Structure 1
């Protein structure tokens, strides 16, 4: 049996199929030791394979809790990692602050060597220089090294030479080599990606070692940021690839789930306890190589997911100007929202509880009772600061959170030239269902798709994810030079063959897809397209779609070749586990801008395929609640999936 586990900031979700029956549940996450939640929740399960999406790497970087390391780079280029691109994202902000660096100048060592842009050796790396640097490393006692030498993407000889010397001198050393992590041009991005990998390695490795010891003889795979998973050993080497591990599962799950209902154009809306992740899917996963985490670039291929700090646990507060703000700080699982009984922090969850959208005795399948009185106290204190009633303040908190999420959806759609009206909103995450109708109305989205297992949907995506490994090499070849292009394609294939031979596997086990990064000669940006016979036509078409023009008879340059190695996981048909409703339908009350309104409160379990229901209503499932607003109507599809539409304007 296979089990998938998605660890979020607030809850850990477990998902599996047992004889074709879909089963899932949640346990609170353990922020201090995330592995404990998985270990405790999986003890009773008999499984052979575990696919895991984790936020360990993300949190370690955002909180600057990575491991100490030394960055070795070409002498004279020690400041590349600190200078960056000199890009100012907030041009008119007088008080802009740079995010704190994860490296100090004392942790960078210059190595006397130099390779030119064509791969020629300008200054050899001598034995004396290697010995000098090794002595300095020994003196510092740091056995975590990042290697990023100039132009090593075209000629990795010096990096490989130094790597061998390091391993011979320090057998227990952890090494991140730029020509292995990201063998592509652009010095700053390559160095940043390699350095971040080294920074995250000790933390992720310790975490994965704990998992490995806890599940001996189990096959463990880790989700990557590109939507596929890698083996445990690969994850221990390529920590930077797990930086968007959890959200990637939701995006991939969104793709296959929506397609199973015939929808190709989808905006995924994943609202959890800590943040909201949105992604636009136009028939395929959108990839980017320009992702930044907290201001630092990561040059690897990741799913283009946009994240905002608005989740169920996001804390509401008043800023110095007296304005109501929500997030980005979250109450997480501990202490959690005020209604959890451990704090008086007013959160989005407390606001929804006060408004009647969440019911205190129906949370978590009725196993946890929320403290509505505590939510009232927390929000009342906030209300006093802005001169509103507690209910008006709760409504304000929800509106501010919705604004954050609406902007995020516009970011991946409107700002990219897409009209949200042409897409369906796929809503998941434990908190998403409470906000989906409001967002659809605001953005003009006509349809919403909601899976019954929305609260554990990212774990669903992990379960059906494919094995995926990316290889790349920058080459700079004219598109017309077919002979050179064929040579480098063969070299890339050999690189992948050697990689798997070292792991006693064959490349023939996998599906392979070649891609190319193309640009007009002299441009500073590229377009990635699949490798086909009509590369020129496809490039010109995509260039015109993205930038409004293309250039006839202008030289096109192949900048980087890519090879995507994949082993597909077959999609299994499933049916829901039969459960009895833990309550009967009754009438409740929610507070809106027009005052209190009556709503039907219905157990999701009681819904039947083909049933049609008009709002307002609350649909309650063990791990999520869907608020069907009064101008919406839903139809129950297969596996109690909801298709929600506006029924009046």
Structure 2
């Protein structure tokens, strides 16, 4: 039916997938390399090509780069806590990365007991002083972290209403069963930190869908399979939405999902849940399907190990600047090993992205490593084949060791590239159709209550 058309959008750090769905199958699809095409324009082009279709809804998963989640890039956020607990965001498992400037930590004399009884009332006079300072510093966002507010939110609501009356955007921890204040507060702080980035990306999406999908019909998918629009406490969960969506499709099939995407290689366990995200800022409350990042990744760098043999290092170079073969990268990566493979050249989003100068630069880099290696007589082609085989073996072995079901479904744009490695794996099967993330986002959105 005409009104059953839907858009599915999966936005990653460097790539975005768009599909048009008719209720049973993909009608059209596109992958945009966001380093070369921005989100708004690439989406507008895709939408314009299908403007004759009447769209009922659009479902979106939105992943934000951890590099951009630094408060120095995302905008300053003030934090108001119970007096004596100003440093709790930096407790337990924090790697040293700060979530805000120390100048924006404020505390108030208020106290609610673990029983929920108010021990010391919150005075608006203290909030007045903080609001005046924030106005002078031109701070627009504030997080409230009051001890035991999960049990009795009276002071939290009082402060929220007060700061909102001062035209500040206020973030409070989501009420959950989790009694660990540190992980709850840290999630709230990250929700506030990425708020501006999220809104900017949402603005691009809204403009991309202009005149085709009304704003109130654009839904974001969360990590638990829910959909949302403006709830600011859901944004951290959306970072894991596309991978959780891939797993939700197989919850009744007793099969794990190995997604070999352009940005990440992840193993998803559809029947297991994780309540904590081990983030660069420490442990964060975040419920999603269990998602394991493999030790080998698409842009993992190549190097000589301590024995002067070729190996992969522990650093992913990412797609910005990307593999050397794409012209801007400065270090050889796993993706460079397949630069002359016809399957890579045909991948949607990568066509015509590899340049001859970049390919030659990669081969020159590899030759330099060969001369410094234990065996200086190696041929470049042999090194490439050996490293391809090593990468494939690592992927297959890790998927065997950590899967929770005997069967595994391999998805993603690079799935076919590594298919030979799974020939002896009787439990492995392949999703041959590309754009698995965007399709999964639509599947989850269709089941969610909107």
TM over 0.5: yes
Query: 1:147–1:176: 8 Å Cα contact kept in structure 2?
Result: yes
Paired residue secondary structure (2:444): coil
Query: 1:279–1:304: 8 Å Cα contact kept in structure 2?
Result: yes
Q: Distance in 2 between matches of 1:305 and 1:423?
A: 17
Structure 1, unaligned runs of 5 or more: 87-97, 469-565, 569-649
Q: Does residue 269 of structure 2 align to residue 274 of structure 1?
A: no
Q: Deviations over 1:371-406 (max 9, x none)?
A: 575353343333333244323322343355346535
Q: CA deviation at 1:57?
A: 5.8
Evaluate the alpha carbon distance shift between residue 6 and residue 466 of structure 1 in structure 2; reply closer, same or farther with a 3 A threshold: closer
Query: 2:408–2:429: 8 Å Cα contact kept in structure 1?
Result: yes
Q: CA deviation at 1:124?
A: 0.6
Structure 1 partner of 2:239: 243
Q: CA RMSD in A?
A: 3.2
Query: 2:82–2:110: 8 Å Cα contact kept in structure 1?
Result: yes
Q: Distance in 1 between matches of 2:43 and 2:315?
A: 26
Q: Distance in 1 between matches of 2:171 and 2:446?
A: 22
1:331-342 correspondence to structure 2 within 5 Å: 331-332=318-319, 335-342=321-328
Structure 1 partner of 2:45: 40
Aligned mate of 1:49, from 37, 43, 57 = 57
Q: Distance in 2 between matches of 1:243 and 1:64?
A: 20
Query: 1:12–1:28: 8 Å Cα contact kept in structure 2?
Result: yes
Aligned mate of 1:298, from 284, 291, 302 = 284
Q: Kindly tell me the number of residue pairs found equivalent between the two proteins.
A: 431
Query: 2:71–2:99: 8 Å Cα contact kept in structure 1?
Result: no
Evaluate the alpha carbon distance shift between residue 318 and residue 358 of structure 1 in structure 2; reply closer, same or farther with a 3 A threshold: farther
Structure 2 partner of 1:451: 431
Q: Distance in 1 between matches of 2:395 and 2:344?
A: 25
Query: 2:150–2:175: 8 Å Cα contact kept in structure 1?
Result: no
Q: Distance in 1 between matches of 2:367 and 2:155?
A: 64
Structure 2, unaligned runs of 5 or more: none
Q: Does residue 184 of structure 2 align to residue 193 of structure 1?
A: no
Structure 1 partner of 2:172: 177
Q: Does residue 448 of structure 2 align to residue 465 of structure 1?
A: no
RCO higher in 1 or 2 (8 Å CA, sep ≥ 6)?
2
Query: 2:223–2:288: 8 Å Cα contact kept in structure 1?
Result: yes
Paired residue secondary structure (2:435): helix
Q: Deviations over 1:266-316 (max 9, x none)?
A: 1211112222111123xx4x2221222225222132121112464433332
Q: Does residue 75 of structure 2 align to residue 70 of structure 1?
A: no
Q: Deviations over 1:236-280 (max 9, x none)?
A: 553222121332232234x17xx6xxxx22121111222211112
Structure 2 partner of 1:382: 369
1:102-501 correspondence to structure 2 within 5 Å: 102-169=99-166, 171=167, 173-178=168-173, 180=174, 182=176, 184-216=178-210, 217-218=214-215, 219-230=217-228, 232-234=229-231, 236=232, 238-253=234-249, 255=250, 264-281=253-270, 284=271, 286-308=272-294, 310-318=296-304, 322=308, 324-326=311-313, 328-332=315-319, 335-343=321-329, 345-353=331-339, 357-358=341-342, 362-364=346-348, 368=352, 370=354, 374=360, 375-386=362-373, 387=376, 388-402=378-392, 405-406=395-396, 408-409=398-399, 412-413=402-403, 418=404, 423-438=406-421, 441=424, 445-453=425-433, 455-466=434-445
Highest Rg: 1 or 2? 1
Q: Deviations over 1:597-648 (max 9, x none)?
A: xxxxxxxxxxxxxxxxxxxxxxxxxxxxxxxxxxxxxxxxxxxxxxxxxxxx
TM-score (norm 2): 0.84
Evaluate the alpha carbon distance shift between residue 24 and residue 337 of structure 1 in structure 2; reply closer, same or farther with a 3 A threshold: farther
Q: CA deviation at 1:165?
A: 0.5
